[in-house]
Structures are given as C-alpha cells and as structure tokens.
Chains A and B, each alone.
Chain A
Amino acid sequence: MIIDDDREIIESIVDGDTAKYEIIVKKYQIRVINLCFRYTKNYSDAEEVAQEAFLKAYRSLGSFRFDSKFYSWLHRISINCSLNYINSKEKVKEKETISENTCLIDERRGVGDRPDEYYNLSELSEVIEKTFEGLPEELKLIVKLREIDDLSYDEISNKIGIPIGTVRSRLHRAREILIKIIKNSYE
C-alpha cells in the first residue's frame, strides 16, 4: 500500500523514525531535481542542489507546521538552495573567469552514463502518457484529479459524486496499471 499522507510520515520522522524520510525523498525527488535543473542547467549540479534541499528540509522538519502543503514548503527550500548555488557559482566564475567550457565539463561528469544507473525519463514519459491515454475514462478522470490536480479523496468524491471507497479503488487500479509500465521497463 502506498502512503499518501505526508503528515503521517513527517510526524513519524520527527518522532525519530529517520528511515521514513526516504519515502519523502522518493516521492518528491523528480520534481525537486527538475526544479533545480531549471536554475542550474545541468543534471549533476541539479542533483547536488536537490540533495542539499532535501537535507535542509530534513533539518528543519521539526519547524514545519502543516499550514501549507509539504511540497510547497520543499519547493521554496529548493528555490533558495538553487539561488544560493547560482550566487556561489557566480563568485567562482568571477574568481576563475572560466568560459562556457565549464558547463560542458559538468555535463559530461553528470548523472551516470550507464543506462542501469539512471531512469531515462524521456523514454519513460512516452510510454506512461500513452498508457494514461489508453485508460478507461472513469480511471483516467480519477488519476487526473488526484495526480495532476492534487485534489484530496474527499474533493474528488464530492466533485464527481461517487463514494470515497470507489475513488480509492479506482485510483488503486489505475496506479497499478501505470506502475506496471515502469516495472516492465526496469525490473
């Protein structure tokens, strides 16, 4: 079973269950790395900055008050880390006066070159999108509302007028189909 509730996970971490932080990392790593990439413009630095953002978030987890969504908070931290990275990079550039070659070097030492070391999301996205489009309409709608629009089970239930139990079971079925695609590609 996949744990959807961030609050439950975060409270366990703050209570001392550090291992649960891996769920948070796995849940948001792609979006955070993508966000950092928009600032850093290369994959290895994006992962480095994202790592720093996750560490910073872990350090301040005790002060998170659930006034906003956890991802919004993490998003803010990631942006701050990215901006710090840019500032420090600028300083290094000023000192070393290195040209664009730096980026080329960084690109080469980026995320592992061996295919078994990384997820190729460009390839995966095509398969996932195709599978999503092929889902039955009632499953597709639930996936859209939950995974894209981030609505809660209650909100979905009210919006389309079906019981929460049905929302859960449909979402579970749809997730199984979509996850199977990735399993087939990587396991």
Chain B
Amino acid sequence: MNKNLKEMEYLAIVKAVLKKEYPKKISKNFSDKVMVEIYSTYNSIYNNNFWTYGLRMASVFVFATITLFVLGNFTTNQVRYTKSTITNDLSAPSKNVINKIECNDLNDNKKVLKDKEIIKCK
C-alpha cells in the first residue's frame, strides 16, 4: 500500500509537470496533514458501516415484532371459532321481496279497477 501510494504521488508529479500545472514546491507531508484532519474530524461520516448495518438489522427486527404482535392480536380478537353448525335464516329478505311484489300487484289491481270504473261511467 505504501509503495503504491508513493508511486501514485510520483506519477502525480510526472502528470502535473507534463501538463505544466505545478507550483514551484510542495510539502512532502501535505497528504498526511489532510488525512490527520480527516481522521480527527470527519471519520464518522463514512466509517459507520457496522453501525449502519446494526441499525438496519434492529429496525427490521422491531418492524417484524410489531407486525407479528398486531397480526396475532387481530386474529385472536376478531375471529371466533365454533364447533356447532351455523344456520343462516335467509327468509326475511325474500319475504320483503314478496311483500313488495304483492304491494305492486295491489297497486296494479287498483289501477285496473279505476280504469274499469272510468269506462263504466263513459
């Protein structure tokens, strides 16, 4: 790594010279100063993989627990199972329908009677 860094530094010098973009002199420890500053001040910005991973895992665990709890409570409170057979009395709606039809028939009959009376009068 150190040999690579040194070579990178030398190559940068070559490149800067060929591009004619160089100052007359430059401190040899410039990059050290930058790195010291970064380690002392900003190290926590990107070097938090472990914590990020831990936080993600914790949030997944909490979410899963809450979901299971809610689903568990929902099923136990709302659904009640029974051993006996449930019989459904569906007569009421059909009776209503029949009544309505009867009413309609009555109305129709009244109309017919009215019409007949009018004809008689004529």
Instruction: Report which A residues bind B (CB closer than 8 A).
Output: 1-3, 13-16, 18-19, 21-23, 25-31, 33-35, 37, 43, 46-47, 50-51, 54-55, 58-59, 61-62, 111-112, 116-122, 124-125, 128-129, 132, 143-144, 147-148, 175, 178-179, 182-183
Contacts and interface: CB of A to CB of B under 8 A. Distances in A.
Given A3-B4, A43-B25, A33 B30 contact: yes
A172 to B, nearest CB: 11
A97 B24 CA distance: 29
A87 B29 CA distance: 27
A15 B49 CA distance: 7
B43 A18 contact: yes
B4 A121 contact: no
Nearest to A38: B23
B25 A147 contact: no
Contacts of B35: 19, 21-22, 25
Contacts of B43: 18
Contacts, number: 158
A16 B51 CA distance: 11
B48 A16 contact: yes
Contacts of B13: 30, 119, 121, 124, 128, 182
Contact of B26 (A58, A121, A125): A121
Interface of B: 1, 4-5, 7-19, 21-31, 33-35, 37-39, 41-43, 45-49
18 contacts: A18-B39, A19-B35, A26-B12, A26-B31, A29-B31, A30-B16, A35-B21, A46-B23, A54-B34, A55-B41, A55-B42, A62-B45, A119-B13, A124-B17, A128-B13, A129-B17, A148-B18, A178-B11
Residue among A3, A25, A54, A112 with max Cβ neighbours from chain B (10 Å): A25
A37 B17 contact: no
A43 B30 CA distance: 12
Given A55-B34, A111-B26, A118-B27, A183 B10 contact: yes
Q: Which of B11, B23, B29, B41 has the most CB of A within 10 A?
A: B23
B25 A182 contact: no
Contacts of A28: 12
